[in-house]
């Protein structure tokens, strides 16, 4: 058998470039391009330089036939089907003319039967529309519990609708069931956090009612906050925090009263005065009633400011990371220092949290973050509104001057022992505002007491 001239040239090239894989691939590719419109031969035979060659051509590999995946989009819902008109027979006509009283009853039964038949015939479509409406309403809700509940309802309706279809779309049912299960898990957690039963000691119950319940913190959330807190006992005339000290904790005076001072001046708004709280609560004055509770929080301004700066720094670092991935780590935030000294006027019980513990509490849930922010912000607003200078301590006294030079610089941690609730009536502040002269004199000596970063 003689090969055509084109095949002889191809065979010459194959034998010539048989030791070079790159050139051999080019030869075969050129040959296949020239024979693309022809059927591919199975065997190449020929004589070259007196030698007979018989080369088997490998078959072309065809891609295996893959199974067809189901369509990811749900099938088009069927429209509502109308019922066929009911044909009246001759017997029905004669019955209607004979008894008019039974005609109304029969019509009511017919309407009810046709309504039930309509619902039975179009139940899947109605269920799917109800689920779609619930999903739409879920996007309009701001409460997380309502949003997740409506989303679960829409998922369940979609599952029921798919169960009535032929064939049943098990893949869609599986994914929708997974979404509903995740939402149900978080719904159980939210309900447990909002409505679970919690046992409290009398001290914890009083603290909850006084400092947390008014700002939307639930008993379950308070239990988590109390478990994170470290309880310390501060003896009388001992500092809770001193002026110039780094603020690394958030303090809450649970029991007892404190006295805040700066450069020998007594700060009313930053002091915890239970007697003043009781007097103001009897007068039902909400603005003045915060004068004692605002002073119970210590270091909350520094924490909120540090938390805000940390979030802003993280946002800036994310922007820098997108621009340049080889950035050096950010410098640590500057620690805030106390601007005034807080002394225990009597034996006090103080709860304190580190900044890391408080950040973990605020990251626990959105409700917890909002409630804690409201509680601490209310204390800050109370300090600003109720800031006055006591008329009896408008001038520096030896006791307030000595608060800044106390040898004892930290609170003593000890087990709490109940003692006599003795209050020094001389330390209780009298409100400025009895007369205009006192208001003018107090406003001259007014000093703003707050924490600020060093």
Q: Are residues 215 and 342 in the same domain?
A: yes
Query: Is pLDDT at 436 greater than 70 in this prediction?
Result: no
Q: Are residues 373 and 259 in the same domain?
A: yes
Cα 365 to Cα 193, 304, 368, 370: the distances in Å are 10, 17, 5, 9
Q: Are residues 301 and 209 in the same domain?
A: yes
Q: Are residues 290 and 392 in the same domain?
A: yes
Contacts of 327 (CB under 8 A, 6+ apart): 317, 320, 321
Does some domain include residue 337? Answer: yes
Q: Which two three-digit tokens encode residue 182? A: 């995740």
Query: Using one digit for the tens of pLDDT, what is the confidence trace for 141-171?
Result: 888 889 999 999 999 999 999 888 888 888 8
- Number of structural domains (the chain) is 3
Does some domain include residue 143? Answer: yes
Please give the DSSP secondary-structure letter assigned to residue 146.
H
Instruction: Give residue 62's pLDDT.
Output: 65
| Closest by CA position to 225, among listed 367, 87, 338, 393 | 367
Does some domain include residue 325? Answer: no
Q: Are residues 179 and 222 in the same domain?
A: no
Q: Which residues pair with 52 in a beta bridge?
A: 47
Query: Is pLDDT at 425 greater than 70 in this prediction?
Result: no
Does some domain include residue 214? Answer: yes
Please state whether beta strands 348-354 and 230-234 pair in parallel, antiparallel, or not at all (unpaired): antiparallel
Does some domain include residue 440? Answer: no
Does some domain include residue 410? Answer: yes
Query: Which residue range(s) make up the domain with 166?
Result: 104-195
Q: Are residues 246 and 393 in the same domain?
A: yes
Last residue of a domain, one of 165, 195, 225: 195
Q: Is the pTM of this model over 0.75?
A: no
Average pLDDT over residues 373-385: 84
Q: Are residues 362 and 249 in the same domain?
A: yes
Q: Are residues 190 and 259 in the same domain?
A: no
Q: Are residues 355 and 401 in the same domain?
A: yes
Q: Are residues 188 and 206 in the same domain?
A: no
Query: Using one digit for the tens of pLDDT, what is the confidence trace for 75-118?
Result: 566 666 666 665 555 555 555 555 666 777 877 888 888 888 88
Last residue of a domain, one of 195, 226, 247: 195
Does some domain include residue 377? Answer: yes
Last residue of a domain, one of 174, 195, 216: 195
Does some domain include residue 341? Answer: yes
Task: For the chain, give the percent of residues with pLDDT over 90.
Answer: 11
């Amino acid at each position: 058998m003689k090969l055509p001239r084109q095949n002889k040239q191809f065979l010459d090239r194959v034998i010539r470039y048989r030791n070079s894989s790159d050139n051999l691939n080019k030869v075969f590719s050129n040959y296949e391009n020239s024979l693309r419109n022809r059927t591919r031969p199975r065997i190449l035979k020929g004589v070259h330089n007196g030698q007979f060659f018989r080369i088997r051509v490998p078959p072309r590999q065809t891609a295996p036939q893959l199974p067809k995946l189901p369509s990811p989009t749900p099938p088009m819902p069927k429209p509502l089907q109308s019922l066929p008109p009911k044909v009246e027979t001759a017997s029905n006509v004669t019955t209607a003319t004979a008894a008019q009283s039974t005609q109304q009853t029969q019509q009511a039964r017919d309407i009810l039967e046709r309504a039930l038949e309509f619902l039975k015939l179009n139940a899947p479509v109605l269920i799917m529309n109800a689920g779609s409406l619930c999903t739409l309403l879920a996007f309009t809700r701001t409460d997380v519990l309502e949003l997740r509940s409506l989303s679960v309802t829409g998922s369940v309706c979609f599952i029921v609708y798919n169960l009535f279809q032929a064939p049943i779309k098990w893949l869609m049912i599986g994914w929708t069931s997974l979404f509903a299960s995740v939402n149900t898990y978080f719904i159980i957690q939210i309900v447990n956090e909002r409505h679970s039963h919690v046992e409290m000691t009398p001290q914890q119950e009083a603290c909850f009612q006084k400092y947390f319940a008014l700002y939307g913190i639930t008993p379950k959330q308070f239990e988590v906050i109390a478990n994170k807190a470290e309880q310390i006992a501060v003896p009388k005339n001992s500092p809770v925090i001193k002026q110039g000290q780094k603020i690394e904790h958030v303090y809450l005076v649970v029991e007892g009263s404190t006295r805040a001072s700066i450069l020998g001046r007594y700060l009313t708004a930053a002091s915890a005065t239970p007697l003043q709280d009781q007097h103001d609560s009897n007068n039902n004055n909400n603005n003045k009633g915060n004068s004692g509770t605002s002073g119970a929080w210590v270091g909350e301004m520094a924490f909120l400011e540090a938390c805000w700066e940390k979030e802003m720094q993280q946002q800036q670092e994310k922007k820098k990371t997108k621009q340049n991935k080889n950035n050096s780590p950010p410098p640590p935030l500057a620690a805030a220092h106390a601007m005034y000294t807080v002394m225990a006027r009597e034996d006090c019980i103080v709860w304190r949290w580190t900044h890391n513990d408080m950040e973990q509490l605020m990251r626990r849930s959105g409700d917890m973050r909002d409630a804690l922010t409201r509680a601490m912000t209310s204390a800050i607003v109370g300090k600003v509104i109720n800031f006055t200078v006591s008329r009896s301590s408008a001038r520096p006294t030896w006791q307030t001057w000595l608060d800044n030079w106390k040898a004892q610089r930290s609170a003593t941690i000890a087990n709490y022992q109940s003692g006599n609730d003795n209050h020094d009536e001389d330390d209780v502040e009298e409100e400025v505002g009895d007369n205009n002269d006192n208001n003018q004199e107090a406003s001259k000596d007014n000093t703003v007491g707050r924490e600020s970063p060093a």
